[in-house]
Amino acid sequence: MTLKFGTDGVRGRAFIDLKPEWVTKLAFSAAHALQSETVVIGTDGRESGPDFVEALRVGFQAKGLSVWYMGTVPTPALAHAASAHDIAGAMVSASHNPSSDNGIKLLSAGGKKLNDDAQKQIEEILDSNNFPAFPAADARIEPTHYHLAGDWVSFLQASINGRNLKGMSLVVDCANGAVSSFASETLRSLGARVISIHDDPDGLNINKDCGSTSTGSLQSAVIENNADLGLAFDGDADRVLAIDRSGRVIDGDFIIAICAEDMKERKVLNGDTAVVTVMTNLGFHIAMKDRGIQVHQTPVGDRQVLAALEENGWSLGGEQSGHIIFNDFSTTGDGLLTGIQLLDVIKRSNKGLDELADLAMVRYPQILKQVNLPRATLNIEELLLDEIAKAEIELGDDGRILVRRSGTEPVLRIMVEASSYEIAESTANKLVLEAESHLSEP
């Protein structure tokens, strides 16, 4: 079965679902859609990464593209290089997934994520299975353009307009990933006192019990070191979560709310609008309405967020997971940029992250359940419309319901937010029962 593009590129088990020979065909198929004669490649440091880097090189060069290789760098560093040089990019990364997985993220000329039409075009070429005989892979290529990562660091340092982070203490969790060589030194160069953990990648420990998907050790480290806050990156550092001084996780919804209010006050929030996905907490919507900030919703995926930002010229958007895009600075989610922007707000406000988060929004209890769909063609969402409408009336303005089919597996996801956990749980359970009732009908 041919792999398909998901919400963030193509991803699968290395050498099982995702194979080098298929990646070569992907590169060959994508060459025209990337709209560039040059493509810059990077990897997040997984053990399997070099095999897929070489597979990409073979495919791109078979189509006549020049290849630059940055080596092990964060996805935003690669995107910055593509944007600065107006070339295409290809990142070998499975983001927050375990080391046994890998994936490919493609960026068109200028560092932009591919739109749906481009992805469909590439998939059609792949499905045609009309490929030449590719040359054998050479020995693993050595980085030729690692120095471009230094340009990204300089850009990060300049993003707070000459201000600094002196007096701030933090702990950073690098997820044993691509940001391990960059996070602490970049933040220290801005004056912060930094303790760095999980910054010793060996190709197999990326995201293992650390990073944005496993924040326990960072939460403990922040408390033990009496730090102002912590930052938790994922494997390729395109996302970040924060930890306040009490050890509480401050997710993307809170970070966007904090930054949106600050940007509005400084008159740099274009259109006074923030872009978020349908999974963003109801508390965010209520808080933004109270502050005169418009909220635009998109489907799940930072690619969808970026499309809305670019189409409307807006400045800020992102996801609960910590994928946050500062559109005036970057073409993609950038965890280290987000961290620096958040730290800058904290320092200028003379408030702690905990206080800023409490002022920014109140999180509504959220229940997420799923129902297996043995009959993938059944239009279960439409069958549930009456039940959903009834539940929404009962919740009123103090609740929200989202029912959607998963894009990656045969399940229906039911999300309910309400003013109390009990109400959210009860409502979600009712909808699960209704869905199962429809599925059991002959």
In order of 24, 28, 113, 307, 417, the CA distances from 318 in angstroms are 31, 31, 15, 11, 19
Strands 169-173 and 112-113 turn out to be unpaired
Side chain identity, residue 320 = Q
Pick the catalytic residue: 36, 83, 95, 99? 95
Which ranges of 18-104 does DSSP label H, i.e. alpha helix?
Answer: 20-30, 49-62, 75-85
How far apart (Å, rounded) are the C-alpha atoms in residues 100 and 52?
13
349: which residues sit within 8 A by CB, 6+ positions away? Answer: 262, 356
Contacts made by residues 283-286, CB under 8 angstroms, sequence distance 24+? 283/253, 283/361, 283/362, 283/363, 283/364, 284/253, 284/256, 284/257, 284/361, 285/400, 286/361, 286/362
374: which residues sit within 8 A by CB, 6+ positions away? Answer: 410, 439
Side chain identity, residue 270 = N
In order of 291, 296, 313, 402, 440, the CA distances from 258 in angstroms are 11, 17, 20, 25, 46
Contact assessment for residue 414 and residue 397, using Cβ atoms and an 8 Å cutoff: no
Contact assessment for residue 89 and residue 332, using Cβ atoms and an 8 Å cutoff: no
Q: Identify whether 315 is a catalytic site residue.
A: no
Side chain identity, residue 318 = G
Which ranges of 350-408 does DSSP label H, i.e. alpha helix?
Answer: 353-360, 380-383, 385-395
How far apart (Å, rounded) are the C-alpha atoms in residues 307 and 315?
12
Whose structure tokens read 């990326």? 206
Side chain identity, residue 230 = G
- Report the greatest alpha carbon distance in the chain: 67
Strands 88-92 and 101-108 turn out to be antiparallel
Instruction: Indicate which residues carry an active-site annotation.
Output: 95
